[in-house]
């Protein structure tokens, strides 16, 4: 008899944590880790110094909040810009700078996009996200999900940067379980570098014979209309 597999809220949270850690580590070129312990909380909130949030809806609804300290926000922003080849003298030095907010917003968009993609592959359901919002804060702001949640749950996970700066992920969603009825294969992620390399090799295969073959000058002139 086939063993039934059940995916819980904590499993979905783990997928989200892996997306956050993986995307930020790759984008900044520095290690970002999450705590193996998760905290149950009663409400989600934006906290100083920098808060980002995004809503998602579809197969299940929820809210993702990431609260950065000023040091964590600046470290992730600076490492991302350096990884993109931006000179040190052109980097912002204040976490309240618009550039910092833009970069964190883009990173938030990437990591939630990766999360929704993982949900689609592993749970065979679909969720959509809105545009992430970023706020520089000096006071706490309480947030709630604008949807009908029968049994709302909230969780908080601690993340740490390569330099030991801390930021927090908060997830609010309805208590849910996904029960796997039949076996299915989960497709592997395609590496963008591999796709580009394959395309480059295909282009070389197409162009190399043409470069080495004898070309009739008259045919070439005719094609150019001369």
Per-residue pLDDT of the chain (226 residues; tens, 9 = 90+): 456 788 899 999 999 999 999 999 999 999 999 999 999 998 899 999 999 999 888 888 889 999 999 999 999 999 999 999 999 999 999 888 999 999 999 999 999 999 999 999 988 888 998 889 888 888 888 876 555 567 789 999 999 999 999 999 999 998 888 888 777 666 665 554 454 455 456 555 644 444 444 555 555 445 444 5
Tell me the two tokens of residue 211.
């470069």
CA distance 110 to 114: 6
Would you call 118 helix, strand, or coil by DSSP?
helix
Could you tell me which residues are beta bridge partners of residue 127? 58
Tell me the two tokens of residue 225.
């209309």
Whether omega before 49 lies within 30 degrees of 0, making that bond cis, reads yes
Q: What is the pLDDT of residue 211?
A: 43
Give yes or no for a contact between 49 and 167, defined as CB atoms under 8 angstroms apart: no
Alpha carbon separation from 173 to 124, 134, 138, 186, 214 (Å, rounded): 18, 20, 26, 24, 66
Question: Residue 56, Cβ neighbours under 10 Å: how many?
Answer: 20
CA distance 23 to 110: 7
Give yes or no for a contact between 44 and 172, defined as CB atoms under 8 angstroms apart: yes
Residue 34 region by backbone torsions, left for phi larger than 0, else alpha for psi between -120 and 50, else beta: beta
What pTM does this model have? 0.77
């Amino acid at each position: 008899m086939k063993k039934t597999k059940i995916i819980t809220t904590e499993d979905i949270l783990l997928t989200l944590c892996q997306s956050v850690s993986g995307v930020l580590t790759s984008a900044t070129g520095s290690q970002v880790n999450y705590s193996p312990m998760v905290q149950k909380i009663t409400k989600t909130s934006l906290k100083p110094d920098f808060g980002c949030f995004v809503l998602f809806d579809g197969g299940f609804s929820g809210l993702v909040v990431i609260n950065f300290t000023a040091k964590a926000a600046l470290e992730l922003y600076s490492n991302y810009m350096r990884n993109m080849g931006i000179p040190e003298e052109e980097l912002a030095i204040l976490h309240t700078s618009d550039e910092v907010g833009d970069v964190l917003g883009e990173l938030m968009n990437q990591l939630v996009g990766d999360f929704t993609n993982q949900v689609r592959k592993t749970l065979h359901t679909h969720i959509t996200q809105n545009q992430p919002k970023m706020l520089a804060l000096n006071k706490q702001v309480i947030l709630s999900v604008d949807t009908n949640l029968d049994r709302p749950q909230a969780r908080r996970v601690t993340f740490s940067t390569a330099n030991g700066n801390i930021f927090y992920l908060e997830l609010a969603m309805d208590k849910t379980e996904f029960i796997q009825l039949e076996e299915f294969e989960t497709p592997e992620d395609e590496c963008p570098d591999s796709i580009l390399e394959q395309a480059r090799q295909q282009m070389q295969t197409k162009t190399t014979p043409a470069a080495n073959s004898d070309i009739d000058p008259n045919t070439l002139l005719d094609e150019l209309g001369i």
